[in-house]
Structure 1
Amino acid sequence: MENKNKRKFQMPDTFVIIFFVVLAAALLTYVLPQGQFETEEVTFTTGDGGEDTRTVLVPGSFETVTDEEGESVRDGVNLFEDGGGAGFLNYVFEGLVSGDKWGSAVGVVAFIIIIGGAFGIIMKTRAIEEGIFSLIKHTKGRESLIIPVMFVMFSLGGAVFGMGEEAIAFAMILIPLVIALGYDAITGIMITYVATQIGFATSWMNPFGVAIAQGVADVPVLSGAPFRIAMWAFFTLVGVAYTWYYAARIKKDPTRSVSYESDEYFRKDVKQEDIKSRFGLGHSLVVASIVIGIVWIVWGVVQHAYYIPEIATQFFTIGLVAGIIGVIFKLNNMTINDIAQGFTQGARDLLPAALIVGMAKGIVIILGGDDPGEPSVLNTIMNAAGSSIEGLPVALSAWFMFLFQSVFNFFVVSGSGQAALTMPLLAPLSDIAGVSRQVAVLAYQLGDGFTNMIVPTSAALMGVLGAARLDWGKWFLFIIKFQVLIFILGSAFVITAALIGFS
């Protein structure tokens, strides 16, 4: 009876976790002084032979901000600020409206909501469900092959053109498929989002990560490719093996999955429909519009560097075309009003994920922002952590760089933003420590990419979890083991690279 009365531990909701992280950040502003760096514009050659310019900090220019009496400034945040200020209770609104349409938070929030709406229209046509049932019928006995094939493709997407937020849309398609095949939502997240981040972390040519980091660190852009290609192959193989083994266990006993309860949202459709399905011409046209749209997106990203504004519009177009096809062919008895209702429902389903993105951005805002030229507690934290590697042995210095980038990614998830902030600090420090700048770049990209799989401040991760109807707390319970594994393997690669003088 006593055991029955004991309450089972329940992982806090993601909103609760972020609230307490923001509270901790607010308390830090009373303890740590503000600091700032001098900044300068640097121009570097990109991977395609063009030029790019970034505002970066000047190494060794850090200064603690002092008041008129020469005392360090510790301006703890107020409980509330008017006039558009950033008080503790302002973090939700200020986080949601921060940034611009090109990135976090407001751009990513809009991106998530529009993608949700577009796929709400697509799901209204039932073309995805009917296609899944048709695929199951034609892949009996070979369904497990979807795991390695999709994992490698998405890993390549992350390595070649920095795929990240785009995985949200693909997760919406593949998660219902893998659940219908007997797996779970976590398997779908692994072969989509996690695969992209393994590719992102180990890339030899990602224009949004390694290329910018090498340019800022004054390392030949896209150099060291053979080492990184081998690293990509190794980590992709590890990811495939881990996912394949996990998925096989879940297929034997789906109740072992931490997402078993939330997967019911997808399983109920499989139970209620005839597995033979009624996949007709209209459904084929909807699927074709999705495929053509994805090709259009990949072409735009690779050839014209399309990003959040363009990709969001492309997905909206895909959803609109699918809705029109649904009305013409009377798919699921669709009417014009159903297009609007589908968009509304899809946007509503991803609204929690969009809110979390904005709230998570509030952490950085409370710490004073991520501008190295403006006084902030975050600058003080970054300088203290970066300076801690001085005087350490070469291998240990390289590993601390990796650890620093992994932790710092919690605050600045943007790959290009983190490169511009940390590489000007770590590149000269690596010279002092006897570590090549190429190794410093390697520590950056592994620390950035790998932790994108777990930090709740990652907009792409929260968007994918929203598509999977999976709470971050449950995702953490699953991914932490894999996170530890790849951190250990990543440490081995960084230390090895330092010892062999990778340059």
Structure 2
Amino acid sequence: MEEKKKSGFQMPHTYVIIFFVVMLAAVLTYLIPAGTFETKEVTYESGGSEETRTVLIPESFSTEGQATEGTSLFEPGGGVGFLNYVFEGIVSGDKWGSAVGVIAFILIIGGAFGIIMRTRAIEEGILAVIDKTKGKEVLIIPIMFFLFSLGGAVFGMGEEAIAFAMILVPLVIALGYDAITGIMITYVATQIGFGTSWMNPFGVAIAQGVSDVPVLSGTPFRMAMWFVFTAVGTYFTWRYAQKIRKHPEKSLSYGSDDYFREDFKHTDLDVNFRTGHALVILTVAAGVAWIIWGVVEHAYYIPEIASQFFTIGLVAGIIGAIFKLNQMRVNDIAEGFAQGAKDLLPAALVVGMAKGIVIILGGDDPASPSVLNTILYSGGQLLDGVPEVFSAWLMFFFQSIFNFFVVSGSGQAALTMPLMAPLADIAGVTRQVAVLAFQLGDGLTNIIVPTSAALMGTLGAARLDWGTWFKFIIKFQLILFGLASFFIILAVFINFS
């Protein structure tokens, strides 16, 4: 039976999926001409300060000609060829974003938590929590889902979920749930908050600013929408978690969860939670508070947060060596960091490979010739002569698809909203509805697209392959799609502005 099972269909590895998507992108470069837009600077008020953004001019679109040379098989001198996509994807961008910045961010966070896990403070703390919360474990799901959704809504939480998953995934597995539950209450919750936010500085605020809509307007409607989406997400996760707790073997992550179960298998519940363990956990808690303060007060992003996590890991390692936690020595700090980074290396590589898709299509700069610009312009033309409700829904659908190529909320807003805002005027829907279509399309698909660095980092932390995650999350993604469609249609009928 086992032999038969092994010879049956297997979901392709994430690397294989990306390879074929890159191949498709390369074929498109032979079929679709590269296009360009002219750009301009726009300024808008956000949070009491003036922000500036470079956006495209919709009517300035032009193609380089009806034919295109397409992507070559290999390009020397740092050029873009089909076989160059891995290296070029990994080294693209800068320290503020995808890919190289996010890759460094993932590896440093992995290393920091490798040190923390080497102290065994997290495991000891988890077992202590289990001991203290017997009979109340189910409360962790609604409380955590609400808090992470709020984090996504208020300050655009995304990549930070990777670190929290490293703490909460082992906890929920020890409580009888699975890694999928841990991903739902951390990363998925943040993206529900991100996509339905009334004040997210990286999404809705930028989209409103570049669309000439008053920044943070329409708050009551969005707050009600956030509450509904968060309630639906919480209920879905709670029902799933209860089913898995009764029948753990039904979990798609049951096999990969063994990695975490091993930590608790041979440990008595009468744990030896010592002063050193408490100090490590306090260090992590204080560090997280420091990160939240930095993000909210000073707009800290990838470089600062990565350094903050490195500091947390370093202090935890020093405490571990001083208190001899898990027989730890100074050299174990370095070994723990190396092991932690190694564990997240596959997820980091996916980020670079996925960025290769956009590079093959010509990049996401509107002023440089690219197939992606042509796809963007063509998508906008679909709205011409379409009824209002369907036009608004098509905007949402297009933003959902386009998010596969440009996952960054701020990047997608700067690319698509200058095009969608005037198209909304022509279609007879308000620009506020166009912003709503953008934020729902951008945020909600972040939970499934393999090009999302934050998703792949979180899956890496949970030791879960993207193919397995897809099999689970597709049903919930369709529920969110239906719910988002309802709110788009409702917004058109009430003339949301």
Q: TM-score, normalised to structure 1's length?
A: 0.98
Name which of 367, 378, 383 aligns with 1:389.
383
Distance 2:2 2:39 in 1: 62
SS of 1:326's equivalent in the other structure is helix
How far did 1:272 drift?
A: 1.4
1:111-159 CA-partner distances (Å, limit 9, x unpaired)? 0000000000000000000000000000000001000000000000000
- 2:437 is aligned with 1:451: no
Distance 2:186 2:408 in 1: 19
Alignment of 1:122-201 (within 5 A): 122-201=116-195
Unpaired runs of 5+ in structure 2? none
- 2:253 is aligned with 1:259: yes
- 2:263 is aligned with 1:269: yes
Unpaired runs of 5+ in structure 1? 67-71
Question: Which amino acid letter does the alignment assign opposite residue 246 of structure 2?
Answer: K
1:289-313 CA-partner distances (Å, limit 9, x unpaired)? 0000000000000000000000000
Alignment of 1:336-485 (within 5 A): 336-485=330-479
Paired residues of 1:91 and 1:363 also in contact (CA < 8 A): yes
Paired residues of 1:79 and 1:89 also in contact (CA < 8 A): yes
Distance 1:103 1:3 in 2: 44
SS of 1:452's equivalent in the other structure is helix
SS of 1:41's equivalent in the other structure is strand
Alignment of 1:5-404 (within 5 A): 7-46=7-46, 48-66=47-65, 72-404=66-398
Distance 2:194 2:346 in 1: 26
Distance 2:111 2:64 in 1: 46
Distance 1:73 1:438 in 2: 38
How far did 1:6 drift?
A: 8.1
Question: Which amino acid letter does the alignment assign opposite residue 180 of structure 1?
Answer: A
Distance 2:378 2:74 in 1: 29
1:239-290 CA-partner distances (Å, limit 9, x unpaired)? 0000000000000011101100000000111111112211111000000000
Paired residues of 1:102 and 1:309 also in contact (CA < 8 A): yes
How far did 1:75 drift?
A: 1.9
SS of 1:60's equivalent in the other structure is helix
Distance 1:216 1:284 in 2: 48
Question: Which amino acid letter does the alignment assign opposite residue 30 of structure 2?
Answer: Y
Question: Which amino acid letter does the alignment assign opposite residue 24 of structure 1?
Answer: L
What corresponds to 1:498 in structure 2?
A: 492
Distance 2:459 2:5 in 1: 32
1:54-93 CA-partner distances (Å, limit 9, x unpaired)? 1110021111112xxxxx2312100000111010000000
Distance 2:2 2:482 in 1: 41
1:200-256 CA-partner distances (Å, limit 9, x unpaired)? 000000101100000000000000000000000000000000000000000001110
Distance 1:150 1:346 in 2: 25
Distance 2:322 2:264 in 1: 26
**Alpha carbons of structure 1 residues 424 and 123: separation in structure 2 relative to 1, 3 Å:** same
Name which of structure 1's ranges 28-37 and 108-117 shifts more when overlaid on structure 2.
28-37
Paired residues of 1:394 and 1:499 also in contact (CA < 8 A): no
Paired residues of 1:259 and 1:470 also in contact (CA < 8 A): yes
**Alpha carbons of structure 1 residues 134 and 498: separation in structure 2 relative to 1, 3 Å:** same
Distance 1:494 1:454 in 2: 21
Distance 1:357 1:63 in 2: 31
Report the RMSD for the aligned CA atoms in angstroms.
Answer: 1.1
Question: Which amino acid letter does the alignment assign opposite residue 280 of structure 1?
Answer: R
**Alpha carbons of structure 1 residues 226 and 322: separation in structure 2 relative to 1, 3 Å:** same
Q: How many residues align?
A: 497
SS of 2:23's equivalent in the other structure is helix
Distance 1:95 1:222 in 2: 35
How far did 1:500 drift?
A: 1.0
Distance 1:85 1:3 in 2: 45
Distance 2:358 2:412 in 1: 13
Question: Which amino acid letter does the alignment assign opposite residue 16 of structure 1?
Answer: V
How far did 1:468 drift?
A: 0.4
Distance 2:492 2:261 in 1: 49
SS of 1:56's equivalent in the other structure is strand
How far did 1:5 drift?
A: 8.0
Distance 1:162 1:455 in 2: 18
Q: TM-score, normalised to structure 2's length?
A: 0.99
1:4-53 CA-partner distances (Å, limit 9, x unpaired)? 4882211000000000000000000011111111111111111x110111
